[in-house]
Amino acid sequence: MAPKHDDTSSTLAFLEGSRSGIRYDADELRSTDPADGRTLLARYDLEAARGRLTRDVIAVRRGGLWRWEELLPVRRRSFITTLGEGSTPLLPPARLARKLGLSGLHIKAESVNPTGSFKARGMAVAVSRAAELGAAHLVAPSAGNAAGALAAYAAAAGIHATVVMPADAPAANQLEVLACGARLILLDGLISDCGKLARLLGEKTGAFDMATLREPYRVEGKKTLGFELAEDFGWSLPEAVVYPTGGGTGMIGMWKAFEELEALGLIGPARPRMYAVQSDGCAPIVRAFEQGAEFADPWLNAKTRAAGIRVPSALGDHLILDCLRRSGGGAIAVPEAEIEAMQVYAAEHGAGYLCLESAAALAALPVMREQGLIDRDERVALFDTGAGFKSEPPSMKRPAVVPNDPSAWLDLISALD
């Protein structure tokens, strides 16, 4: 297509209530399903996309998630707001994999995304689409990386943003919001309270609510994780996907991506077993999975240092649970104390300085091996969802400061172990 042409090849057709199945016009700014308050999902004309999006076509396109434009919602190129998100490497963490006895372990390095986390994928697409549909002010509650990603992409699009964060959210996330010129409201409350304040602010000011799964398009950005996994693994999906689950956008998105890829003939019917990992300090999805429930009751007194998975109540709970069950996967709660220990262990064993959420996912692996949920040779995909720097720092003892006196340095060096 001619580069001066502004049309993307988006085949977006309509929005669909994720429970009601009711169809809505996709070219209006919409939040949740008016019928039941649940998430709206974007549906595409997959027949039309099938002819255009082939393995060969994708292979020669330039990097980044926008190479999947047929299956993304933005219709005009001039509204694409990008900071270079997507096309992250899939790495074999050799030493760690050996230690864990999992020769097929792969880590998708999502922390190399702009803003240091995979929240960039969702926000890049959702902010672009909101701008295309005329939004002038965006608001979102966040306990972590969604805040910085919204602020960064809103700044890139030239749109106002307001972020409502719990006052105890990591300082790195708060300062990122301020640096990007967004308005920051710090609430003496939980993330669920921040969500209520954000919704009220939206109603009163007309700001569009970008909260997790309360608009249709962050899932669309996150689903590109699933597209890339398929491509990275040579169009044959891994046997297991292990995902640190908060709101579940990535889990829901990947599952949707696999369905779309199959409809396009790019993959077959085989699916990975999908596993959700949470901290035992906040494990509503694990509890609901074990109870065989369709929805997850809110988790009281949610407590985990991994802010991205400190989500006591997820609007997409039924979609997450459905995906876990249909895939033959499961849900694992890891002890909170093991999360930080694994962060350090993984870094020592060459997997990089990962965020606590990724460490939680890694911490589930030994348990999953023991319980026979994964085999040592299976291909397992895990996600480095955010940079270690963006989490609360580990509680490690730092060394004493050496005096700047060269006469003392020889003693120091000979005393090193």
Ligand X SMILES: *Cc1c(COP(=O)(O)O)cnc(C)c1O
d(C-alpha 402, C-alpha 76), whole Å: 58
Question: What φ, ψ does residue 45 adopt, rounded to 5°?
Answer: -85, 85
**By C-beta, is 266 or 283 nearer to ligand X?**
283
Token duo for residue 344: 């350090």
Size of the site for ligand X (CB under 6 A): 18
**By C-beta, is 12 or 355 nearer to ligand X?**
355
Q: Kindly state whether residue 245 participates in binding ligand X, applying the rule CB under 6 A.
A: yes
DSSP-assigned states of every residue in 78-109: GG---SS---PPEE--HHHHHHHT-TTEEEEE
Token duo for residue 51: 């002819």
Contacts of 414 (CB under 8 A, 6+ apart): none
In the complex, least distance from residue 306 CB atom to ligand X, rounded to whole angstroms? 7
Q: Kindly state whether residue 246 participates in binding ligand X, applying the rule CB under 6 A.
A: yes
DSSP-assigned states of every residue in 39-73: -EEEEE-HHHHHHH--HHHHHHSPSSGGGGGGGSS
Could you tell me whether strands 40-44 and 12-17 are parallel, antiparallel, or unpaired per DSSP bridges?
antiparallel
Residue nearest ligand X, CB atom distance: 308
The correct pick among 144, 166, 221, 352 for binding ligand X (CB under 6 A) is 144
Q: Kindly state whether residue 213 participates in binding ligand X, applying the rule CB under 6 A.
A: no
Stretch of residues binding ligand X (CB under 6 A), selected from 197-205, 244-252, 340-348, 368-376: 244-252
Find out whether 127 and 138 touch, Cβ atoms under 8 Å: yes
The correct pick among 73, 308, 329, 330 for binding ligand X (CB under 6 A) is 308
Taking each helix axis as running N to C, give the angle between helix 336-348 and helix 356-370, from 0 to 180 degrees, rounded to the nearest 10.
100
**By C-beta, is 12 or 225 nearer to ligand X?**
225
Q: Kindly state whether residue 278 participates in binding ligand X, applying the rule CB under 6 A.
A: no
The correct pick among 114, 244, 284, 329 for binding ligand X (CB under 6 A) is 244
d(C-alpha 329, C-alpha 343), whole Å: 24
In the complex, least distance from residue 385 CB atom to ligand X, rounded to whole angstroms? 3
Q: Kindly state whether residue 355 participates in binding ligand X, applying the rule CB under 6 A.
A: yes
**By C-beta, is 202 or 248 nearer to ligand X?**
248
Q: Kindly state whether residue 221 participates in binding ligand X, applying the rule CB under 6 A.
A: no
Q: Kindly state whether residue 117 participates in binding ligand X, applying the rule CB under 6 A.
A: yes
**By C-beta, is 306 or 374 nearer to ligand X?**
306
Q: Kindly state whether residue 145 participates in binding ligand X, applying the rule CB under 6 A.
A: yes
Find out whether 213 and 39 touch, Cβ atoms under 8 Å: yes
d(C-alpha 248, C-alpha 250), whole Å: 5
**By C-beta, is 162 or 279 nearer to ligand X?**
279
Contacts of 10 (CB under 8 A, 6+ apart): 44, 69, 70, 71, 72, 73, 74, 75
Question: What φ, ψ does residue 90 adopt, rounded to 5°?
Answer: -105, 115
Stretch of residues binding ligand X (CB under 6 A), selected from 91-99, 173-181, 243-251, 329-337: 243-251
The correct pick among 357, 365, 380, 388 for binding ligand X (CB under 6 A) is 357
**By C-beta, is 11 or 195 nearer to ligand X?**
195
Instruction: Return residues touching ligand X (CB under 6 A).
Output: 117, 119, 144-145, 212, 244-250, 308-309, 355, 357, 385-386
